[in-house]
A and B are shown apart, each in its own frame.
Chain A
Amino acid sequence: MTNSTYTETLTSAEAKVLKRNLRKSERFGLYKALLLILPLFVFLMFTFILPIGSLLFKSVTDDVIPTEWPALTQSLAAWDPAKKQLPDSQTYSNLVVDLQKSIEDDGNSRVATRLNFQQSGMRSLIMKTMRHLDGMDLKDAKQSLIDADERWGQIGTWTIIKFSSQRLTFDYFLNAFDYTRDEFGNVVHNAPADSLYQDVFIRTIVVSLTVAVLCVLIAYPVASFLAALPSKFSNPLMILVLLPFWTSFLVRTTSWIVMLQTNGPINQFLLELGLILKPLELIYNRFSVLVSMTHILLPYSILSLYSVMKGISPVYVKAARSLGAGPIKAFFNAYFPQTLPGVVAAGILSFILAIGYYITPALVGGADDQLASYYIANHVNTTLNWGLASALSVLLLGGVMVLYIVFVRMTGGKGMKLG
């Protein structure tokens, strides 16, 4: 039954109609498919994609000061701190006008909070100035403000307000990389004592990388062992991998807190064996973070390595051995190269999962073991510096996205199998 027999018997008019109908029904099928995806697409748009978009937006925009202090924002836009001169007297009187106008709805307090993110002490400066507003003459606003607080006579104060009053700003990203602006608006590196985020990102990468390497190294022999067993033996043993995989990670974190406590089972066991004389400090340090995160992510590595190794026929190694290769040579030349896709998948998957961890380090780590997620949460909940939280999130998200693309390229998306 070939196409030619059909086309020969069909007149060209009939063929045209048939073709049209076929195309019509194909188009209908495509519309139907799109229509089926549409509800989920709209749903995710609202519950996921727009919220992530709002983060991107928040990391580069800032409308507190332009909204509350419009006149000052405008006159500061024209002022250039690099000329090393104080703003003109018009700017000073605009500040007084804006300050007076925004008392009513607490706008000054919002501005003060915003400015305090940039430099502590700005909040008290604004609050102090507000108390001096009564009877201030707009004509010599400059002198009155400087009399009220000498900081109004310093270029640095105005620089901070100028750069905080930009609607579109990259200053949060500068802060996220430990950069700031000096008195004259030049981008400079933070003093070492104020630098934090470069260390945080390096720490996040080091911890995640260590966990990923540990996971792959520990998982590799286990997965090859399980893959070589007949399913009669490997299935029951697989339960030991799947049960932790399915157990809530909060439960697993809890058990590590119990296990590693000063008076916990591990210390108790070692004391009774006489291996140690006093309890070891096992928890709230880097060790406990690495142990618990590796334990939590190990099942992922074992499962992704196992699925690759299961598809490797043992004949290759046997052939290599019978052709005279030693066990080590046979392993590295015949077996290991075939498992590489699994190694890459397991490594990148563990790394991606580890890099976003928040709960486990927060519960079992000390102050110096917190990862990027912790600082994001902290800025959202405690310091309320949402712009900086967003900038840090965008950096973390960018890193994960790049890794994920590498992951898909190298595994062909096959690493995402479940169950």
Chain B
Amino acid sequence: MNFPAYTNLWGKLAKYLHVIYSLLILVFLIIPIIVIIPLSFNSEPYFTYPMPGLSLKWYEAFFTSPVWISSLKNTLLVGVISTLIATVLGIMASLGLMHPRLQRLAWLKGVLMSPMIVPLIITAVGVYFAFSPIGLSNSLLGLILAHSALGVPFVIVTVTATLAGFNETLTRAGRILGASPLQCFFQVKLPLIAPGVISGALFAFATSFDEIVVAIFLTSADQRTVPRQMWSGIREQLSPTILAVATILIVMSTIMLITLELLRRRTERIRSGSL
């Protein structure tokens, strides 16, 4: 570390304290996540160290339990379909929002972004009241629709951000060269804004994959999702199987994080390149 010539002993001490403090907080952020990973391999159902032995039985319990497997299927199904809906609707709306006259309409963007701001409990209760009379509660369809709405703002944020850096002359070039508007979109625009689209879709998927409050209100035993199942598991009795599920979820979020980081680098490369 470089210290300016005028820094005295106290200044150096403060600087070191700042570094130590920051590193401690970073450790504090990561520790709770790290601590439960080894415990999920514990051979005994206790949550203390040192562990008497290692075992994969809690993972076995997860993968052989019909309840957990069906909730995993439900989660993936809801996640994938709601991500698709949110992404398609979100891309279309983002393209529209780039129009200069609509960009000035703050309320329009506000309405489209509102699912991100409204507390989940309010969304959940509202959706429950509105969907129950029309048979959409206790159904995966209802959950898919609600999760799509929750995912849309993330797609809009990331896609409009990428579109802002998109060079419109490329579309015009495509049109002049004889491509139809649709061809232009799919062959010129979409490949270039793909990083934004994919990170928006990842955010939307993560939102649905994580979401529990709406799931509590909209699902019954037949449509349990993984977070919903974890919630009831934790409330009854915290079993090591839940730690195994948590570890699997941590691995999944790590994969999503890495994907996003790679995408971000790619976008930066493209931005700093010739475009």
Asked if residues A250 and B122 are in contact (CB atoms below 8 Å), the reply is no
Beyond A34-B102, A268-B49, whether A256 also contacts B122 by CB under 8 A is no
Which of B55-63, B66-74, B170-178, B202-210 lies at the binding interface?
Answer: B202-210
User: Which one, A33, A44, A251, A390, contacts B96 given CB within 8 A?
Assistant: A33
Q: Return chain A residues, CB-CB under 8 Å to B47.
A: 258, 261, 263-265
Q: Return chain A residues, CB-CB under 8 Å to B85.
A: 43
Asked if residues B46 and A251 are in contact (CB atoms below 8 Å), the reply is no
Beyond A225-B18, A400-B119, A416-B113, whether A34 also contacts B33 by CB under 8 A is no
Q: Return chain B residues, CB-CB under 8 Å to A419.
A: 158, 199, 203, 260, 264
Beyond A249-B210, A396-B119, whether A36 also contacts B93 by CB under 8 A is yes
Closest to B91 in A: A36
B140 CB-CB contact with A under 8 Å = no
Asked if residues A393 and B126 are in contact (CB atoms below 8 Å), the reply is yes
Q: Return chain A residues, CB-CB under 8 Å to B130.
A: 50-51, 54
Q: Return chain A residues, CB-CB under 8 Å to B270.
A: none
Which of A7-15, A112-120, A163-171, A354-362 lies at the binding interface?
Answer: A354-362
Q: Return chain B residues, CB-CB under 8 Å to A41.
A: 93, 111-112
CB distance from A401 to the nearest CB of B (A): 8
Which of the four size classes fits the interface of chain B? 35 or more
B120 CB-CB contact with A under 8 Å = yes
Cα–Cα distance between A260 and B17 once the two chains are bound (Å) = 27
- The prevalent SS among residues of B at the interface is helix
Which of A35, A41, A219 has the most chain B CB within a 10 Å cutoff? Answer: A41
A160 CB-CB contact with B under 8 Å = no
Closest to B126 in A: A51
Beyond A225-B19, A240-B26, whether A397 also contacts B119 by CB under 8 A is yes
Asked if residues B125 and A255 are in contact (CB atoms below 8 Å), the reply is no
Which of the four size classes fits the interface of chain A? 35 or more
Cα–Cα distance between A32 and B261 once the two chains are bound (Å) = 34
User: Which one, B157, B227, B249, contacts A417 given CB within 8 A?
Assistant: B157
Which of A151-159, A183-191, A373-381 lies at the binding interface?
Answer: A373-381
User: Which one, A35, A251, A418, contacts B203 given CB within 8 A?
Assistant: A418
Closest to A219 in B: B25
A58 CB-CB contact with B under 8 Å = yes
Cα–Cα distance between A58 and B130 once the two chains are bound (Å) = 11
Asked if residues A327 and B11 are in contact (CB atoms below 8 Å), the reply is yes
CB distance from B104 to the nearest CB of A (A): 12
Asked if residues B210 and A39 are in contact (CB atoms below 8 Å), the reply is no
A248 CB-CB contact with B under 8 Å = yes
Asked if residues A264 and B48 are in contact (CB atoms below 8 Å), the reply is yes
Report, nearest first, the 6 A-B pairs whose CB atoms are least far apart.
Answer: A356-B119, A36-B96, A33-B99, A51-B126, A51-B130, A225-B22
A-B contact pairs, 14 of them (CB 8 A): A33-B97, A36-B93, A37-B93, A37-B97, A44-B114, A47-B148, A52-B122, A52-B126, A251-B246, A259-B35, A376-B125, A380-B217, A396-B119, A418-B158
